[in-house]
Amino acid sequence: MPAPDALPSFFSHFSALRVPRQAAKVLHPLAEILTLLLCATIAGADDFVEIELWVCERQEFLRRFLPYRHGIPSHDTLCDVVAAIDPALFKACFLA
């Protein structure tokens, strides 16, 4: 088995994703959004409002992994980012 630091990170699997956002307006990096989406979905959140509520209650937990310097993205931001992701590419990245 390879050493833990040799294993690909969660984020490396999604490095091919490109989300067309205006750079000057981006407050929440894609890595932060993907992390909270994954965690909240595993915990049972079913929609973007539930995801936002779950995340707001667990900010301390999430900040163990990433800084979330600009706070937690709104459910509207989450929805916009997810809608902009190419579904086929996301599936390929996720399955990797």
Per-residue pLDDT tens over the stretch 30-65: 889 999 999 999 999 999 999 999 999 999 999 998
pTM reported for the whole predicted model: 0.82
Interatomic CA distance for residues 91 and 4, integer angstroms? 25
The domain in which residue 56 lies consists of 27-95
Interatomic CA distance for residues 30 and 89, integer angstroms? 15
Q: Determine, yes or no, domain membership for 61.
A: yes
pLDDT at 7: 41
Q: Determine, yes or no, domain membership for 84.
A: yes
* Average pLDDT score over the chain: 87
Which of 2-6, 38-42, 76-80 has the least mean pLDDT?
A: 2-6
pLDDT at 78: 95
Half-sphere exposure of 75 (CA within 13 A, CB side): 12
Nearest residue to 34 (alpha-carbon basis) of 1, 69, 3, 65:
65
Domains held by the chain: number: 1
Proportion of the chain above pLDDT 70, given as a percent: 92
